[in-house]
């Protein structure tokens, strides 16, 4: 995880420094004297070799110093921390909506394959994955915010404000989750052990919950994990639609203003969250699947044995 994060930072660092435009010029304006720009570049360390800048940056980040924003001259870390909760809430809420809608519908349509209860949700889900989230968001604003006036169309201050943006991301994600759940459950209920359970005369309910879902859980968990990360990414665009003061909106403005430190910090935040979620999913695997759990146990046993031997 740590090497991957380092790689992400290096990648973003190089990409942003290849970008056209000079942050020093951006800060001082077009009228600035060349000497002033040169001085500022020296002050910001922009004239040093890229590798040196990178190492210095990593060193600072490790001590919790994400640098100063070029445009506001305030510490980047504070600005990111104040905006992070909104983005996390949005991604979390939309993932919740995704699981609450996508999972049950996926299971139902798999168990009732080719019935109306299967065909209708499948068609709706296919439409759902075909709609860009920012467009869904604007449609929701148009219908529920402007015409019906039921819900606020922008901002993120109270839970009522969360509903529309969370649904904008959640709908698309629910469609993906539903499709995945459906195909996984279908795959599992065709297995031999399900037939065995049926022939034993077990109730359909017990078969579904104890035999089918237990085995379908791993791929579903994977999708939920991946999707939580994608919802983080989706919130960048959605925050713009709803003018939510979150990480994504802030990063986008900083990208347009060439405020490198903010963009780098934001990418680190999101990539770290993404990696933590993936780590959490990996740990959950062990929790739901005894086969994987025993692998972990065997590994740690080996480690302790080696430790004893040494």
Site residues (CB under 8 A) for another protein?
Answer: 3-5, 7-8, 11-12, 15-16, 18-20, 113, 126-127, 129-135, 138-139, 141-142, 146, 182-183, 186-187, 229-230, 232-234, 236-237, 240, 251-252, 255-256, 263, 267, 270-271, 274-275
For residue 76, count other CB atoms closer than 10 A to its CB.
25
Q: Which is nearer to another protein, 139 or 288 (CB)?
A: 139
CA separation for the pair 254, 23 (Å, rounded): 11
Q: Which is nearer to another protein, 18 or 33 (CB)?
A: 18
C-alpha dihedral, 48 to 53 to 56 to 61, nearest 10°: 150
Tokens at residue 215, please?
A: 């085995």
How distant, in Å, are the alpha carbons of 152, 161, 166, 186 from that of 147? 11, 16, 19, 41
Give the nearest distance from C-beta 127 to another protein in angstroms.
6
Please list, in sequence order, all residues whose beta carbon lies within 8 angstroms of the beta carbon of residue 134, skipping any fewer than 6 positions away.
168, 237, 238, 240, 241
Give the nearest distance from C-beta 7 to another protein in angstroms.
4
C-alpha closest to that of 217 among 129, 106, 93, 294:
106
Q: Which is nearer to another protein, 16 or 77 (CB)?
A: 16
Q: Which is nearer to another protein, 111 or 307 (CB)?
A: 111
DSSP 236-256: HHHHHHHT--SHHHHHHHHHH
Give the nearest distance from C-beta 142 to another protein in angstroms.
5
Q: Which is nearer to another protein, 52 or 142 (CB)?
A: 142
CA separation for the pair 197, 206 (Å, rounded): 9
Give the nearest distance from C-beta 14 to another protein in angstroms.
9
CB 4 within 8 A of CB 267: no
Give the nearest distance from C-beta 310 to another protein in angstroms.
27
Give the nearest distance from C-beta 126 to another protein in angstroms.
6
Q: Which is nearer to another protein, 88 or 252 (CB)?
A: 252
Q: What angle, rounded to 10 degrees, do the helices at 159-189 and 133-140 form?
A: 130
Give the nearest distance from C-beta 139 to another protein in angstroms.
7
Q: Which is nearer to another protein, 44 or 235 (CB)?
A: 235
Q: How many CA within 13 A on the CB side of residue 61? A: 19
Q: Which is nearer to another protein, 104 or 159 (CB)?
A: 104
CA separation for the pair 249, 265 (Å, rounded): 14
Give the nearest distance from C-beta 223 to another protein in angstroms.
14
């Amino acid at each position: 995880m740590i090497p991957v994060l380092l790689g992400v930072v290096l990648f973003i660092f190089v990409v942003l420094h290849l970008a056209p435009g000079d942050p020093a010029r951006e800060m001082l304006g077009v009228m600035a004297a060349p000497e002033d720009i040169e001085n500022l570049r020296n002050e910001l360390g922009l004239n040093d070799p890229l590798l040196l800048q990178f190492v210095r940056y990593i060193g600072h980040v490790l001590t919790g110093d994400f640098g100063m924003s070029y445009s506001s001259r305030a510490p980047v870390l504070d600005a990111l921390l104040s905006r992070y909760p909104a983005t996390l809430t949005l991604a979390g809420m939309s993932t919740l909506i995704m699981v609450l809608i996508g999972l049950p519908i996926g299971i139902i349509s798999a168990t009732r394959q080719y019935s109306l209860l299967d065909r209708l949700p499948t068609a709706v889900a296919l439409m759902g994955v075909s709609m860009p989230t920012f467009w869904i968001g604007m449609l929701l604003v148009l219908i529920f915010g402007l015409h019906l006036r039921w819900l606020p169309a922008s901002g993120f201050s109270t839970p009522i404000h969360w509903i529309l943006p969370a649904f904008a991301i959640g709908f698309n994600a629910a469609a993906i989750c539903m499709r995945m759940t459906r195909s996984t459950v279908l795959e599992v209920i065709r297995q031999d052990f399900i037939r065995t359970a049926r022939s034993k005369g077990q109730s359909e309910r017990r078969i579904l919950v104890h035999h089918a879902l237990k085995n379908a859980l791993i791929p579903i968990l994977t999708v939920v994990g991946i999707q939580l990360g994608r919802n983080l990414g989706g919130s960048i665009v959605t925050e713009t639609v709803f003018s939510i003061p979150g990480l994504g909106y802030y990063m986008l403005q900083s990208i347009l203003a060439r405020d490198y430190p903010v963009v780098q910090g934001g990418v680190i935040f999101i990539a770290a969250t993404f990696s933590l979620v993936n780590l959490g999913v990996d740990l959950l695997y062990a929790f739901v699947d005894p086969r994987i759990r025993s692998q972990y146990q065997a590994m740690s046993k080996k480690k302790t044995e080696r430790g004893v031997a040494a």
